[in-house]
């Protein structure tokens, strides 16, 4: 009587085929979700920029105050929205530098 059970190598190759199929199916789900999110974000209008922004250096220390949407300000983790009151305090009390391009000090009326 011969041993007709699959060899260890045959079992491993079967497992590989199953896992490749699972991976392809998962990649299809990922692609579908990326497409759904792209369609959703295309339908939503972009959030308006904050009125005032605080630029941070790489150590996350405040460096400049900007009018919201200023293209010269920090991007991503280097920018934080601030309120009008905070912007006034940062420029007046904390003596933080105003952006020379968007001139938040002029917008806020705190020119020296």
pLDDT digit string (tens) for 38-78? 998 888 887 888 999 999 999 999 999 999 989 888 777 88
* Structural domain containing residue 37: 7-44
Q: Give the number of domains in the chain.
A: 2
Please check whether residue 1 lies inside any domain of the structure. Answer: no
Reply yes or no on whether the pLDDT at 92 is more than 80. Answer: yes
CB half-sphere exposure, 90, CA atoms < 13 A: 27
pTM beyond 0.85: the answer is no
Note whether 82 and 90 are within 8 A (CB): yes
Asked if residue 11 is part of any domain, the answer here is: yes
User: Is the domain of 33 the same as that of 68?
Assistant: no
pLDDT per residue as tens digits for the range 3-22: 789 999 999 999 999 999 99
Same domain assignment for residues 38 and 60: no
33 occurs within a structural domain: yes
Indicate the pLDDT class of residue 2, thresholds 50, 70 and 90.
low
Residue 18 lies in a domain: yes
Residue with tokens 């079967």: 14
Listed in order, strand segments (DSSP E) in 1-112 are 52-56, 62-67, 79-82, 97-98
Asked if residue 34 and residue 57 are part of one domain, the reply reads no
Residue 34 sits in the same domain as residue 11: yes
Q: Is residue 1 over pLDDT 60?
A: no
28 and 71 within one domain = no
At residue 23 the predicted structure's pLDDT band, cuts being 50, 70 and 90, is very high
Residue 103's region, left for phi above 0, alpha for psi from -120 to 50, else beta, is left
């Amino acid at each position: 009587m011969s041993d007709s059970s699959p060899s260890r190598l045959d079992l491993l190759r079967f497992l590989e085929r199953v896992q490749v199929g699972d991976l392809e199916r998962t990649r299809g789900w990922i692609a579908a979700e990326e497409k759904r999110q792209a369609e959703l974000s295309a339908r939503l209008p972009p959030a308006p920029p904050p009125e005032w922004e605080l630029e941070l250096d790489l150590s996350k220390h405040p460096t400049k105050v900007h009018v919201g949407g200023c293209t010269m300000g920090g991007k991503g983790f280097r920018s934080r929205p601030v309120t009008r009151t905070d912007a006034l305090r940062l420029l007046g009390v904390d003596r933080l530098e105003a952006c020379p391009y968007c001139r938040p000090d002029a917008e806020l009326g705190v020119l020296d």
